[in-house]
Amino acid sequence: MFNCFLAPGIAGTPFSKYWARQFYQGVPSIVLPVLASTVSGLLAARSLRALGSTAGVETAWWFTAGAVLAAGHLAFVPAVGPLINAMIENGRKGNGLSAGQREKRNGQSQRTWFMWHTLRSLSVDALALMCFAKGVVMAVEVA
């Protein structure tokens, strides 16, 4: 979906406006599920360990791993935050950039952001989901 923003005429000011609105409205929709996943995964793990059974402890490991990986989503903020901020700033009036310069800079930032987004999705988000799924399946067997 984000690659369509790299089309000529879109990566400049329109894209800066998109990120300005999306970023500030989207932060809670990212942070809240990450926190919910992390906390609920740790609580599930704690409850399963309290059972004292070997199966409960093994199952708790999957929920702990999922919680750590879910929290790992936020570890990518230092890599993507400045890119998003740069795209927002490129669209501000009075920054001295021509339309072509905005287009070029936003395109470069978007490509880099997309690389980090893909890496994060595959390395922590997908793995967290798999760990939680494995934990749920094992928890059903424990119960």
Confidence at residue 17, expressed as pLDDT on a 0 to 100 scale: 87
Rounded mean pLDDT, 41-55 = 93
φ, ψ at 109 (rounded to 5°): -65, -40
CA angle 98–99–100, rounded 5-degree value: 90
What are the b/e assignments for 85-101, b being 16+ CB within 10 Å?
ebbbbbbeeeeebeeee
Q: Given a cut of 80, is residue 120 above it in pLDDT?
A: yes
Q: Whole-prediction pTM value? A: 0.85
Confidence at residue 74, expressed as pLDDT on a 0 to 100 scale: 95
Selection from 82, 75, 67 nearest residue 113 by Cα: 82
